[in-house]
Structure 1
Amino acid sequence: MSERLRVKQASPLLSFLTTELKGWSRSKIKQRLTTGCIIVNGQPIMRHDHEINVGDDVEVRATGKNVQLKVSRLEILYSDNDLIVINKPAGLLSVATANENKDHALAILRKQLTRPKRTVNLWPVHRLDRDTSGVLMFATSREMREAVMDGWAEAEKTYLAVVEGCPNPSQGTIDQPLRIDPEKYQMIVGPHPEAKKAITHFNTQRTVRERSLLEVQLETGRQHQIRAHMAWLGHPLIGDPRYGTEGPRMGLHALRLSITRPKTGKRLTFETPAPDDFLNLLR
């Protein structure tokens, strides 16, 4: 079961919860915060000093794990006649899967942009894992999608990652091929006739309490590349049970994407800062 609350006066989140949740101990409320059970306007929040405003929706859930994120609108970072770039929240699929075909970014964005007598068609240029937040691009035609993909090798893809431990040396390159294990749906690192080239560059930004914030650049874009490479290095992402351990959210955020726009040849860069629930992984 969960409780839904509406904010009537601006205040820090913990103060609001302490007032509204009659009979709850302060330690119980903090436990719900740290495990990602407090949802503000559809986003898990773990900072007790997070400022909430009048009209905000606050949901208190019994568990923060494996709960389907409900989103009705997406933040649009950029749009023109050919391309639309959004800030995808963690917990939301990029596109439909065999098991889930309703609540995903493609469907939500299509509905958000559609007007009477004007249906919007969208094609995903790339994808982000469900639990990865950040920059996600769509094209408004199959031709534009293919044109962008033709130059995808020159795209610059920059991520932020929160990992266990502190890499030594603090920066470097992982040049290890990857192949999929279809039974475990997991990438296997290392040379193999079926493995494909995969190169990941990383640079440690800071370390807090045995966790490190890395800036990561992809030279290739294999499925689960950062997750598999960092686990292979001995520093798995926080909150990644497939390659590491459980957590309130996965420590991966698509910070920046830079492409050469087809038709004009202009260089376009899209960026969105890491959300609070990501940065809370370092606290």
Structure 2
Amino acid sequence: MREPKQSAPLTWTVEEDGVLLPFLLSHVKGKSRNNIKSMLSSGQFRVNGKVFTRFDHPLAPGDRVSLAPKQAREEVPALPFPVLYEDKDIIVIDKPAGLLTIANEKEKIRTAYHILTDYMREKEKNGRVFIVHRLDRDTSGVVLFAKNEETKLAFQEDWEGRVRRRGYRALVEGVPDESEGRIRSYLRETRTHLVYSGAPGRDAKEAITRYRVLCSGGGYALLEVDLETGRKNQIRVHMSDLGHPIAGDRQYGAQSRPLGRLCLHAHELTLVDPRTGEERTFSAKEPAAFRRLCRSGSGEGRR
């Protein structure tokens, strides 16, 4: 029995300097502009054998642009975490707990930054990502990366001014006496890098956290937490100060570890986009187990 014959790719040779999308619009017949843009975004076109997805990828005389047969198209490797949003300048992910945002002394490879760098280079030869902000290894949730240095600097040079909201969900031990409140203290750090609330002074940093109880039960409460300041370990310290440490946070006094992780999740980031001036919100729902535990009358998962 004969094997089905695979069709050869459609190929065009570039004759003058230009960019990819206008070239495709003038050479690909029978497709609308939106069809071609969709095909380009999904990696169906190659330049000199490599997949490119940017509309403004430069072309030079002699370059060969091709549309691969469907069965031969390259696929960008799947990422081990959800991509919440991506365009030509930024990519926003839902980072899982246990994954570093960026390398430290002990771990250089298994980081969100390294994984996304490989992902971008598979999509485009010179693709890169840049750190804009980060989450601790044990905190899950929304992290934004830039795809070029200009965008990175635009965010970082006025990060505090651009951020409108940093919303977290924290599963804590016990139930706060007040259903909502505001915690203010001055954070200091020991030589061993333990952050704690101390007296005001030159080396102390003011930290303000607001919280609201969403549900409770089984010895836990799920809190909506908002940061008025963004200090290292701020939420962890303030929940401990409140007398209700985050579940799984043994360093700050937790007695239980119901999910084998720190039960803290960055669920919403709202900021003013420096490129457009518009307010943008990126969100990622907290793990379902957070609510399941705080609704459990039996203290499910405590140990």
Q: For the residues of structure 2 that align with 1:160 and 1:202, how far apart are their CA atoms?
A: 9
Asked if the contact 2:180/2:212 (under 8 Å) is kept, the reply is yes
Q: C-alpha distance in 2, partners of 1:142/1:278?
A: 37
Q: Which residue of 1 aligns with 2:198?
A: 190
2:97 to 90, 101, 107: 90
Uncovered stretches (5+) of structure 1, i.e. residues with no partner: 1-70
| Aligned-residue offset at 1:131 | 1.1
Q: Deviations over 1:83-114 (max 9, x none)?
A: 11000011111110111111011111111232
Give the secondary structure class of the aligned counterpart of 2:251: coil
Equivalent AA in structure 2 for residue 177 of structure 1 = Y
Aligned partner (choices 143, 147, 153) of residue 140 of structure 1: 147
In structure 2, distance between residues paired with 1:279 and 1:108: 30
Q: Which residue of 1 aligns with 2:28?
A: none
* Alignment correspondent of 2:166: 157
| Structure 1 residues 212-252: Cα deviation after superposition (integer angstroms, max 9, x where no partner) | 11000001111111001110111100001211235112110
CA RMSD of aligned residues (A): 1.8
Q: Which amino acid aligns with 2:137?
A: R
Q: 2:160 aligns to what SS in structure 1?
A: helix
- Counterpart of 1:272 (choices 284, 291, 294) is 284
- In structure 2, relative to structure 1, the CA distance for the partners of 1:278 and 1:103 (3 Å cut) is farther
2:138 pairs with 1:131: yes
- When Rg is computed on C-alpha atoms for both structures, the one with the higher figure is 2
Any gaps of 5 or more consecutive residues in structure 2?
Answer: 1-77, 297-303
Shift in Å, 1:182: 2.6
**Counterpart in the other structure of 1:118:** 125
Provide the rounded CA distance (Å) in 2 between the counterparts of 1:98 and 1:214: 33
1:257 maps to 269
**Aligned equivalent of 2:221:** 212
Question: Do 2:222 and 2:291's aligned partners in 1 also have CA atoms closer than 8 Å?
Answer: no
Counterpart contact for 2:94–2:142, Cα < 8 Å: yes
Give 1:224's aligned residue: 233
* Greater length-normalized contact order (CA 8 Å, ≥ 6 residues apart): 1
Aligned length in residues: 212
Alpha-carbon distance in structure 1 between the residues aligned to 2:292 and 2:118: 32
Q: How much has 1:117 moved relative to structure 2?
A: 5.4
SS in 2 for 1:106: helix
Distance 1:116 1:238 in 2: 39
Contact 1:198 1:222 in 2 (8 A): yes
Task: Name the residue aligned to 2:247.
Answer: 238
Determine helix, strand or coil for the equivalent of 2:281: strand
Shift of 1:128: 0.8
> TM-score by structure 2 length?
0.66
- Tell me, yes or no, if the aligned pair for 2:268 and 2:282 is still in contact at 8 Å: yes
Kindly tell me: are residues 141 and 164 of structure 1, through their superposed partners in 2, closer, same or farther at Cα, counting changes over 3 Å?
Answer: same
- The 1-side partners of 2:123 and 2:267 are apart by 34
Q: Summarize the Cα distance change of 1:90–1:264 in structure 2 as closer, same or farther, 3 Å threshold.
A: same
Q: CA deviation at 1:141?
A: 2.3
User: Which letter maps to 2:105?
Assistant: A
Greater CA deviation, 79-88 or 138-147?
138-147
Structure 1 position 168 matched with structure 2 position 180:
no
Contact 1:74 1:108 in 2 (8 A): no
Matched residue SS, 1:114: helix
Q: Which amino acid aligns with 2:145?
A: F
Q: Distance in 2 between matches of 1:162 and 1:176?
A: 21
- Residues in 1 aligned to 2:198 and 2:101: alpha-carbon distance in whole angstroms: 28
